[in-house]
Homo-oligomer: A and B are copies of this chain.
Amino acid sequence: MKELKDRILADGKNMGGGILNVNSFLNHQVDCRLMVHIGQELAARFASDGADKILTAEISGIAPALEVGVALGIPVVFARKIWSITMPPDSYERMVPSHTKGTMVQLIVAREFLTPDDKVLIIDDFLASGRTIDALVSLVTESGAQLVGIGAVIEKAFEGGRERLAPLGVPVESVVIIESMENDQIVFR
C-alpha cells in the first residue's frame, strides 16, 4: 500500500533498537482518512475468510480494527489492558511483555464476547515479535472460537512474528512489511 509506505517514510521516526515511532499518524495522532484506507485494504484481504468478529488489543489496535470492522460490517472486541469494575471476574486473561512500555501488560476479554460460535479475525497495529498477537490467539483458542486470520498494519519482518504465527495455519496479512531498520534507514519488502 503505497499511501502507507510514503507516510512512514515521510513522518515515521526510526528511534533505533527496532522502534518505529508512528505517533503522528497512527497511534497517538490518527490520520482518519489513512486509517479508513488501511481498514479497507485489510478488509479486502480477508473478505473471503468468513470472519464474524474482530479481536484486537487496546490501545493502538482499536483504530485499525474499527475500520476493518466498518468495512466488513462485523463487530470489534478489544482486549482490555486495565481492569474495570464492568469486567466479570471470570474473564479470559493473559500477561504479555510490551516492547514499548518496558513492562508486562494484561489482556482481558469477557467470556460473553468470545464464544465457540465465533469466527475471529485478529487485527493489530504492529506485527513485531508476535507475542501480543500470540496471546490474543490463545484467548481465542481457550474460548473455543475459530481463528480465521491475522492482520497487521505494519509488520517488522526482522522480529520474527510471522515465523512465530506460521504454525497456526491461518492467513497472516500486513499492509506493509518492513524488512530492515538498520543504519537509520527504513527498508520495505
Write the residues of chain A forming the contact surface with B, with a CB cutoff of 8 angstroms. 13, 15, 19, 21, 23-25, 28-33, 35-36, 58-59, 62-63, 66-67, 69-70, 73-78, 80-87, 100-102, 109-110, 112-113
Contact = CB atoms under 8 A, between A and B. Distances in A.
A69 B100 contact: no
Contact of A30 (B66, B86, B87, B102): B66
Given A15-B86, A25-B75, A86-B100, 20 more contacts: A15-B85, A23-B86, A24-B113, A28-B80, A28-B109, A29-B76, A30-B69, A30-B75, A30-B78, A32-B69, A32-B74, A33-B70, A35-B70, A59-B62, A62-B66, A82-B101, A83-B101, A84-B100, A84-B101, A85-B100
